[in-house]
Amino acid sequence: MGLSAARRPAGPRLGEVVEAMSRRTTSLVVSAALLLVLVSVAFSVPMPYVLLSPGLTANVLGDVEGKPVIQITGAKTYPVDGHLDLTTVSVSSQEYHPRLPDVLASWISPDEVVIPRDVYYPPDQPAEKVEEENRAAMSDSQSAAVVVGLEQAGIDPYAVEVKQVEPGAPADGRLEPGDRILSVDGKQVGSTEDAATAIGAVAPGDVVALLVRRGPERLTVEIRTEQSEDDPEKARIGIGLGPLVEVDINVSENIGGPSAGLVFSVAIYDLLTPGALTGGRFVAGTGTIDADGKVGPIGGILQKIIGAYKGGDGASVFLVPADNCEEAGASELADDILLVKVATIDDAVSALESIDVGDEASLTLCGR
């Protein structure tokens, strides 16, 4: 029985090899083209995020466009020194839709942060509505800051003063500019609106009794009213009223929101009291303020710290709302700047006074 050799299968023909390679090459080229298209689309499609970065800072003890940021009339003010900066966060506009490269760059950047778009720009609100709300929040913040700053300086923010007396009017010769109105017909007044409403509610021709403070004296002045020219059913006595102390705050239109309230209050107190509260230092801060002087939390604390430290000469002290202290303590700048925890206007004033006398041990610091 002879041995038989196994037959080798015939190899692929050259044409088949070339055809297979051609199909593989075509697949690779098509796949690469599709991948390129997908990458191009990914890099051009708007992403549902907004980008936060350090924003503007402004010294509220200084000037803006040649005008003091804080202007006080009706009370003595004192020289101030150093900086007291409000801080902001720059948020990409509602019209701007970042692409993937922008988002990746912000994720990598130590100064920026990426957050979901709906957090800042609710989808059902147009850009004009968001801007309007920011302006309203800034206005409310300033009003609360004025009340708190005046009270901290020992001034009644609700006091009403006669600013002018109309010649020939019922009040002419009875009231004087500078008279402080305490009550109308026995009812205490807490604002110029209260006083005007109480006087206007008297029947025209009837007598209204005003309790006023004139210098050190308290006087009851009775005045027969007359008809208002604008509304015959309302009474008038012919006086112009206004707050005893008026505070005007001027800031850039690019700054909105409520987070500068604390800094405004501290600045008003500083201007109304002897000595420079900052001690000539570069102080910055943030935080909302309510009428009771409580400091509330804000967003973007890390970006605000960066902006304060890297902007201008660089802040050495930063007033941090108590509820933001833990987050602020994680800042890479926690060893370079005093991050002072404050829960009230009292805390902020006391902290700056302690720093001025070198008593940093009494401070509660974030991150140390």
pLDDT band at 315 (very low <50, low <70, confident <90, very high): very high
**Structure tokens, 179:** 């008279």
Q: Are residues 321 and 269 in the same domain?
A: yes
Single out the residue of 354, 342, 23, 290 nearest to residue 142, CA to CA: 290
Q: Are residues 288 and 219 in the same domain?
A: no
Q: Are residues 279 and 190 in the same domain?
A: no
Q: Are residues 347 and 221 in the same domain?
A: no
Q: Which pLDDT does position 178 carry in this prediction?
A: 93
> Which of 210, 244, 278 finishes a domain?
244
Q: Are residues 253 and 182 in the same domain?
A: no
Q: Is the pLDDT of residue 4 over 50?
A: no
Q: Which pLDDT does position 1 carry in this prediction?
A: 41
Kindly state the percentage of the chain with pLDDT values over 90: 63
Q: Are residues 309 and 322 in the same domain?
A: yes
Q: Answer with the residue of higher pLDDT: 11 or 320.
A: 320
235 within domain boundaries: yes
Write down how long the chain is: 368
Q: Answer with the residue of higher pLDDT: 367 or 286.
A: 286
148 within domain boundaries: yes
Q: Is the pLDDT of residue 357 over 70?
A: yes
Q: Which pLDDT does position 3 carry in this prediction?
A: 44
Whether residue 265 contacts residue 61, with contact meaning beta carbons closer than 8 Å, is answered with: no
Q: Which pLDDT does position 13 carry in this prediction?
A: 61
* pTM listed for this prediction: 0.81
118 within domain boundaries: no
Return the minimum-mean-pLDDT range out of 168-172, 249-253, 351-355: 249-253
Q: What is the pLDDT of residues 75-123, one digit of tens each?
A: 999 999 999 999 999 888 888 888 888 878 887 888 888 888 888 788 8
Q: Which pLDDT does position 40 carry in this prediction?
A: 59
Q: Is the pLDDT of residue 37 over 60?
A: no
4 within domain boundaries: no
Q: Tell me, rounded to whole angstroms, the distance of Cα 19 from its chain centroid.
A: 70
Q: What is the pLDDT of residues 218-233, one digit of tens each?
A: 999 999 999 998 899 9
Phi, psi of 276 (to 5 degrees): -90, 115
CA within 13 Å, CB half, 347: 22
Residue 13 DSSP label:
P
Query: What are the b/e assignments for 345-364, b being 16+ CB within 10 Å?
Result: bebbbebbeebeeeeeeebe
Q: Is the pLDDT of residue 5 over 60?
A: no
Q: What is the pLDDT of residues 56-72, one digit of tens each?
A: 899 999 998 889 999 99
Split into its structural domains, the chain has a count of 2
> Which of 215, 244, 273 finishes a domain?
244
CATH classification at residue 276: 3.30.230.10
Q: Are residues 143 and 55 in the same domain?
A: yes
Full domain range(s) for residue 171:
160-244
Q: Are residues 224 and 170 in the same domain?
A: yes
Q: Are residues 231 and 344 in the same domain?
A: no
SS3 46: coil
> Which of 244, 275, 296 finishes a domain?
244
